[in-house]
Amino acid sequence: MSIGSEFKEFAMKGNVVDLAVGVIVGAAFGKIVSSLVGDVITPILGKAIGGVNFTDLAVSLGLDPKGAPVLVKYGVFLQSIFDFMIIAFVLFLALRGINKLKKPAPPAADAPPPPPTRQEVLLEEIRNALVKR
């Protein structure tokens, strides 16, 4: 078997294709959530706490040798934390919904109980034999 045919067989396996689709959808989903956080939630949150724009928050450490300011941009870091928290929460909700779909339906209330297993029948026979002694 040649390397080309082996690679084709590997690349066309379901898991590889599913992974590729998942990565592409995940990247697009990440952009959507980043926009939601950056363009919708953060401005509302900033307005609620006094008109603060998180991405502008920084601490100046002075000037570099060329005269440009050296900044610690902790606001961008806060923005990334918000992104992560919202992505994690949305994924939690999605997986929770998927897991609920996977659970078997509870048995109906009026359905007869399942018959006892072979082991249960044998244990009952042993118990009954011991009681007769």
Q: Is residue 116 part of a domain?
A: no
Q: Is the pTM of this model over 0.85?
A: no
Unique residue bearing structure tokens 């898991």: 15
Q: Domain range for residue 22?
A: 3-107
The structure tokens listed for 12 are 């066309």
In a domain, 100, yes or no: yes
For residues 34 and 58, give the distance between their C-alpha atoms in angstroms, rounded to a whole number. 20
Split into its structural domains, the chain has a count of 1
Separation between Cα atoms, residue 54 and residue 78, nearest integer Å? 7
Residue 124 belongs to some domain of the structure: no
83 CB neighbour count, 10 Å cutoff? 19
Within a 13 Å sphere around the CA of 112, how many CA atoms are in the beta-carbon half?
Answer: 3
Cα–Cα nearest to 36, from 75, 77, 76, 87: 87
Inside any domain, residue 29: yes
Per residue in 99-129, pLDDT tens? 888 777 676 777 788 899 999 999 999 999 9
Per-residue tokens: 6: 């082996």
Q: Is residue 130 in a domain?
A: no
CA distance 71 to 78: 15
pLDDT at position 16 over 70: yes
Query: Is residue 129 one of the residues assigned to a domain?
Result: no
Q: Considering the domain boundaries, does residue 114 fall inside one? A: no
In a domain, 112, yes or no: no
Examine the pLDDT at 26 and tell me if it is beyond 80: yes
Q: Residue 15 maps to which CATH number?
A: 1.10.1200.120
| Alpha helices for the chain (secondary structure H) | 3-11, 14-35, 42-48, 74-102, 118-132
